[in-house]
Structure 1
Amino acid sequence: MITPHPAKPEPTEPEPTDQDQRPSPTPLDRKIAAAFPGVVVRKDLVKAVKGNAIVPTYVLEYLLGQYAATDDDATIHSGIEQVRRILRDHYVHRGENRLIQSRIREKGRHRVIDKVSVSLNEKLDIYEAEFSNLGISKVEIGAETVRSHPKLLTGGVWCICGIVYAYSGDPKDVPWRLHSLKPIQLSRLDLDSYTTAREQFSTEEWIDLLIQSIGFNPAMFGPRAKLLHLVRLIPFVERNYNLVELGPKGTGKSHIYSEFSPHGMLISGGEVTVPKLFVNNASGRIGLVGYWDCVAFDEFAGKKKRADRALVDIMKNYMANKSFSRGVETLGAEASMVFVGNTSHTVPYMLKNSDLFEELPEQYHDPAFLDRIHCYVPGWEFEQIRGEMFSSGYGFVVDYLAEVLRSLRDTDYSDRYQDSFALSDDLSTRDRDGIHKTFSGLMKLIHPSGQASPEEIDALLRIALEGRKRVKDQLVRIDSTMKAVHFDYTCSGESRSVTTLEEEEYPRLYHQVTEADEAGTDSSDDVPLASAQQPQKETARQASAHSKPQEGHLEFTEGRRGFTYDRYIGPYLHGATRIDVIDPYIRQPYQARNLMELIETIAKFTDTTSDVTVHLTTKRDDDGVFSARQQESLETIRTNSAVAGISFEYSFRQTIHDRTITTDSGWRILLGRGLDVFQPFNTDWLDLRLRQQFFRQLKEFTITYVKQDSGIRS
């Protein structure tokens, strides 16, 4: 469980704004621009300049970082026009290469934007350049230029080049001459300055910067969701890291591997062969694992898909030993392996009927293969991508961040937790390897200096343990010879256990508790509400009948589902005729919606033959953008509450901090976050979550129930 942050108002569901209106830079944006001049860019500008140019995002961001990395609107506008002009005048479209060649011949010289790769012609002892889109090759390039930009030799670099046409009359002579070359990708990296600048940011600010760098608005995600997004980056920063992510469609599983880095390769799962991935024994040519930092397999799931058994066997050996064979010779490589695919069933369905790997092809649904997975990212915890999730703030130019992560692959932080924490002795070597690699990757992403507080280390270690536990727990289901182990760790002699989110949501399904197992145990009807762990889909009246309100304390992990006001608040409202709600933040539209949903619950659980009064105490939004709408929303709630016979009153007090619900029947409910417990979601009226709280993901929060006439006080 990630350490909860103090509750505060969050812009979780921003109002729609004019797309042409540029948002003002936040204090964090200004801090980012000042700390990293020239290598950060406003993420919403890329679409504005891309047009029809089929040019990688990292190239566009590099250009924007050169011309529009500022918070001055006039300079940004000028920079965008400059980048557009550069693309219009110099970018080579593959279908127009002959036109550009003719233009160079007629003018004698012309500048182009193209991907340039260089090889050594050992017969002539010269370096020769090849232009990908322009379609010319064997252009001599100086050795000094190659030494200054060595990436030209390893796959190519996007450059602005001055090309000269000089026909000599000799048909064997190449008429093209390279007059100038300027890389428009990062060609040099100062890792020390990056690490030093990191210290100017708090951990929360730095995580937000990384989230903005991959294109998302951090305000739309909680601490856990942000860390899960960063786990997707670990294959770029950690050598030989094996990651799987299965989940619903449209959650951005493959985006990070196709657009984020020039060092990653995304291929369809059905297009993989042994020669393509590892080695062609006939030619001796090394496959993808020898050239890329990360090889990701898209659309990997699908029970009916067939896989080459030989490929699976070689892959298992590579994932375990970082090596593969070419005849009698054994070769090594450093590429991380990522497997992403879509699920067709819900988590409870998979837990009840099979396991969380059920969607994999039969050849990969193999304990020996799955045991080599270091981390399983729960794709079902990610929301489907929506427009408001994208960032308009400043983030790193992705090419710059990709080079930083590649440089950090040489660093190992897997032991940085050991001064304060120790893993359980139950864990196997492969369990420890998976935990260590995930933890090391997160440390390099968030704390590149290797220094972090015990609290910060604890949060990362728990995510690492959970990612490997999700793999191991499913292996125990699949292979009866494997034994379940406790994913515990100790801190100062205190043992701490780690659970997966789906284990907390569906404990009976997760641990495969059958009716026979439950025979002889207490009926769920006798389980008090305050200690109930298994969320159930049921009506308000059923929840009331099956729950006995009593004092207690509940903690809800970020990302869980299954919470409703009906189930966790409704039963405490019986017999009440006056209900006092204190919540400082009933300002924004989604907060007013939460309050109206509480009124619905009150209407269900109180006596309709009695006069019921609900009084809200909140803070007035005097200076905020929602000040006018706040009063209007509260008056609307007053009108609509009267339909159910509820008298709704409200007052303002600027000094309140507590969040409570108090009834005249003797119950006091302490709400850690107030009514604001749900993560943002699509508020389209066709979205089931708009009417069913049960299906919404939660923020991390607590509830404490106190019977006031018992003498217990908070």
Structure 2
Amino acid sequence: MEKLDIKLNEHFGGKVVRKDLTKLVKGNAIVPTYVLEYLLGQYCATDDEETIVEGVETVKNIIAKHFVHRDEAQLIKATVRDKGSHRIIDKVSVSLNDKKDQYEASFANLGLNRIPIADSVIKEHQKLLSSGVWCILTLAYFHTDERDSTPWIIENIKPIQVSNADVDEYKEARKAFTKEEWIDVLLQTIGLNPEEFTFRSKLIQLTRLVPFVENNYNLIELGPKGTGKSHIFSELSPHGMLISGGEVSKAKLFVNNSTGDIGLVGYWDVVAYDEFAGKTKRVDRGLVDIMKNYMANKSFSRGTQVYGASASMVFVGNTDHTVPYMIKHSDLFDALPKDYYDTAFLDRLHAYIPGWEVQKLRNEMFTSNYGFIVDYLAEILKDLRKEDRTHDYSKFFELSNSITTRDKTSIAKTYAGLVKVIYPHNEITESDAKELLYFAIENRKRVKLQLQKMDETFEEVDFSYTIKSTGEIINVDTLEVIQYGPKKSPVVEIKAEAHQETTSTFTEESPIELQGGQKIIRDNQIGISYDLLFGAYLLGATDIKVIDPYVRLPYQLRNFMELAKLIAEKKDPEVEVKLHLVTANNEDYVENAKEAFEQMSYSLESLGILFTYEFDDFIHDRSIVMDNGWKVVLGRGLDIWQKTGGWYDINEYVQEQRLCKAHEITFVKGY
């Protein structure tokens, strides 16, 4: 096992599971991850390989024998009849038959309806009265000639749920992990490979958990297909309900006026609407009005009676256009149905996750390492909903006075939710808090900027904050505005050296005045190329030395060749340029690297570039040193982009389309 896996098993023994096991046992069963991991947690929550193998087989047998597939419903019924009773796993919902004055259960896959169930079960598990809960139960069969009776009997029933989640124990164990380790544990719990995500991308993923840990939190995420927007809300927790946006009704969501039954918001911590976008979708305008009131006031009414609820609302859907297109021609809510394209409704959203920054899920983005049993984490998050951390940010920061009360509430709830998720033990430094506050403000500002485009009566707001310890004022911008804002093409922020008084930005269209200083690139920023970053600094150089310890893997070799191509474009055709690479290597890669470098040497010679290389295992810094007097210090070396989807992904061929990793580049004159 890897170091983090060992540490996780040490501090959370019996509460973690290897995430690739879920795929092994799922097969064709259409069952949520939390159901499978509930079973895996009982039989495979260990690091002992032999026990894991035995446990996987046990769980496979349980699924095979007891999980009800719709197409095998009649076979299961026959088994129950023949044996007298049989244990099954199915999704069960309960309703009150007021004519008989009894509760009756319905089975989603088995197809049985109106099966009597004891009042005591409903008192203990009220969620059964909603749209369905996955349960393990023993179903019996006893035929009788009594009129209007049913032979089916529910002997015992237990919702799939972890019962031993001690939040104090969880907080104490959290102290043994660094911030980076803990975030990676949470990513692995969701089923993702942390190595494939930048810090900002991890934050985006973890923000999807905030509705589970914050009461009455309203979140929207719009973006391309295939990025896993709805996965967490259907698979992670038995306290969340994912419904199709087209299936929402006032009765289902809030209250049924004819029966008086409370809807989903009364029973679930999170109600998520899948496929929420779609301009042509028909929507009940009355539902939108009730939702607006609920999202603002945490309550809804039926006649003269007012009900309160704490369910968070999540809206996920696909965008119709690219971000630059929406920013120029419409807004980022452009894909929503007409009746939800309402500023009063949208203003009640606490955060807008930039779904277009999330890469489409590829095989290597899933983990086979350990993470929490998702149901265990779900219970912890539910317990943390009781805590109020919405004022915690004020310990370090003060928000701008121009930020409205609704904006402040939104920012505070996002910040509080992320603190509960990442720092449940409430030990957080000012630097770490700053990362979360900036991100929280950005996700609320994204909402507000669109409202201002939709309705000019929304005044411009100064989304800045002051660091109390230093008095420094931090201005917050959304990444897409930095990249595609009015009259801008992709921009790189430049911080000038101390002796220079001005700070400036430049684009590909504007003239560039070479200066010393620093360029700062943010996580997930696009529109960045080597040419935009330092192409102008290559002009006139005839002797270039590149120092980068990591030029060995295919994508790193590709980066170096792209640098060589840029040098060829910047040099005088009649001048030869010496290009020397100093890199490190090891015996696993050195032969392939030598072969690649020799091919490069022959190839580049025809362009007037004389390429040489050497290996030095003691280098650490990364830079480009040129004989024109400039040195470019590369914070991450040439490896500034996140991985692409491979040969058939256009990002593989267009640098400006790739998502960046956060890094800094410094320019020094006098070499």
Q: How far is 1:697 from its partner?
A: 0.9
The CA deviation string for residues 264-294 of structure 1, in whole angstroms up to 9 with x for no partner, is 2222323323223222323322222222222
- The match for 1:245 among 221, 227, 233 is 221
| Superposition pairs of residues 15-34 of structure 1, within 5 angstroms | 25-34=1-10
* Structure 1 residues 638-671: Cα deviation after superposition (integer angstroms, max 9, x where no partner): 2332232212111122221111101111111111
Cα pair 2:32 2:234 within 8 Å, conserved:
no
Q: Does 1:652 align with 2:615?
A: yes
In 2, Cα distance between equivalents of 1:309 and 1:333? 21
1:353 to 1:99, Cα distance in 2 relative to 1, 3 A: closer
Calculate the aligned-residue CA RMSD, in Å. Answer: 2.9
* Structure 1 residue identity aligned to 2:477: T
Q: Secondary structure at the match of 1:410?
A: coil
Please give the alpha-carbon distance, in whole angstroms, between the structure 2 residues aligned to 1:445 and 1:675: 33
Match of 2:652 among 664, 667, 690: 690
Given that 1:413 and 1:450 are in contact with CA atoms closer than 8 Å, whether structure 2 keeps it comes out as no
What is the correspondence of 1:114-193 to structure 2 with a 5 Å cutoff? Answer: 114-115=90-91, 132-134=108-110, 135=112, 138=115, 158-167=134-143, 175=151, 184-193=160-169
Q: Which residue of 2 aligns with 1:277?
A: 253
Matched, 1:318 2:283: no
CA–CA distance in 2 between the matches of 1:422 and 1:532? Answer: 27
Structure-1 residue corresponding to 2:495 = none
Length-normalised TM-score, structure 1: 0.85
Please name the residue that 2:536 is paired with: 571
Q: Is the 8 A contact 1:505 1:535 kept in 2?
A: no
Q: 1:581 aligns with which of 536, 546, 549?
A: 546
Q: Which amino acid aligns with 2:273?
A: F
Indicate yes or no: 2:233 matched with 1:257.
yes
Amino acid at match of 2:667: Y
Q: 537, 550, 569: which one pairs with 2:515?
A: 550
CA contact (8 A) 1:129 1:141 kept: no
Structure 1 residue aligned with 2:555 = 590
Q: Does 1:706 align with 2:665?
A: no
Q: Which runs of 5+ in 2 are unaligned?
A: 490-499
Q: Secondary structure at the match of 2:394?
A: coil
After TM superposition, give the deviation of residue 392 of structure 1 in Å: 1.3
**Contact 1:113–1:161 (CA<8 Å) still a contact in 2?**
yes
Distance of 1:388 and 1:699 partners within structure 2? 18
Instruction: Say whether the 8 Å CA contact 2:285–2:339 is kept in structure 1.
Output: yes
Q: Which amino acid aligns with 1:499?
A: D
Of residues 666, 673, 678, the one that matches 2:629 is 666
Structure 1 portions without partners, runs of 5+: 1-24, 512-527, 537-542, 710-714
Counterpart position of 2:15: 39
Contact map agreement 1:92 1:114 (CA 8 A) in 2: yes
Q: Is the 8 A contact 1:275 1:281 kept in 2?
A: yes
Q: Is the 8 A contact 2:115 2:153 kept in 1?
A: no
Distance in 1 separating the partners of 2:101 and 2:27: 41
In the alignment, the residues of structure 2 paired with residue 362 and residue 181 of structure 1 have an alpha-carbon distance, to the nearest angstrom, of 44
User: Equivalences for 1:2-401 in 2 at 5 Å?
Assistant: 25-115=1-91, 132-134=108-110, 135=112, 138=115, 158-167=134-143, 175=151, 184-401=160-377
Deviations 1:82-126 (A, max 9, x none): 211121222222333332232233334433333456789999999
Cα deviation, residue 603, structure 1: 1.0
C-alpha distance after superposition, 1:357-404 (max 9, x if no partner)? 222233322222221111111111111121211111112222222222
Aligned partner of residue 337 in structure 1, secondary structure? strand
**CA distances 1:14-59 after superposition (whole Å, capped 9, x unpaired):** xxxxxxxxxxx31112222232233322222222211222222211
- Structure 1 position 474, deviation (Å): 1.9
In 1: Cα distance, 2:306 partner to 2:488 partner:
41
- Once the two structures are superposed, residues 542-600 of structure 1 have per-residue CA deviations (whole angstroms, 9 ceiling, x without a partner) of x7x94343322111111111111122222211222110001111122211111111111
Q: Could you tell me which residue of structure 1 aligns to residue 493 of structure 2?
A: none
Distance 1:597 1:109 in 2: 68
Task: Trace 1:399-548 onto structure 2 (pairs within 5 A).
Answer: 399-491=375-467, 492=469, 493-509=471-487, 533=505, 535-536=507-508, 546-548=511-513
Cα displacement string for residues 139-193 of structure 1 (whole angstroms, at most 9, x for unaligned residues): 66695x8888776677765444445545566567665566666665323432222
Relative to structure 1, the CA distance from residue 73 to residue 630 in structure 2 (aligned partners, 3 Å threshold; closer, same or farther) is farther
Distance 1:65 1:554, change over 3 A: same
Q: 2:583 aligns with which of 606, 618, 641?
A: 618
TM-score (norm 2): 0.90
Aligned mates of 1:44, 1:463 — CA distance in 2: 31
| One-letter identity of the residue aligned with 2:546 | V
* 1:236/1:646 CA distance change after superposition, 3 Å: same
Q: Tell whether the 8 Å contact from 2:161 to 2:238 is kept in structure 1 after alignment.
A: no
Task: Determine the C-alpha separation between the residues in 2 that align with 1:380 and 1:535.
Answer: 23
Percent identity reads: 53
Q: Which amino acid counterpart does residue 338 of structure 1 have in structure 2?
A: V
Q: Structure 1 residues 598 and 487, CA, compared in 2 at 3 Å: closer, same or farther?
A: same
Instruction: Give the Cα–Cα distance (whole angstroms) in 1 for the partners of residues 255 and 522 of structure 2.
Output: 45
Look up the SS of the partner of 1:71 in the other structure.
Answer: coil
Is the CA contact (8 Å cut-off) linking 2:279 and 2:338 kept in structure 1? yes
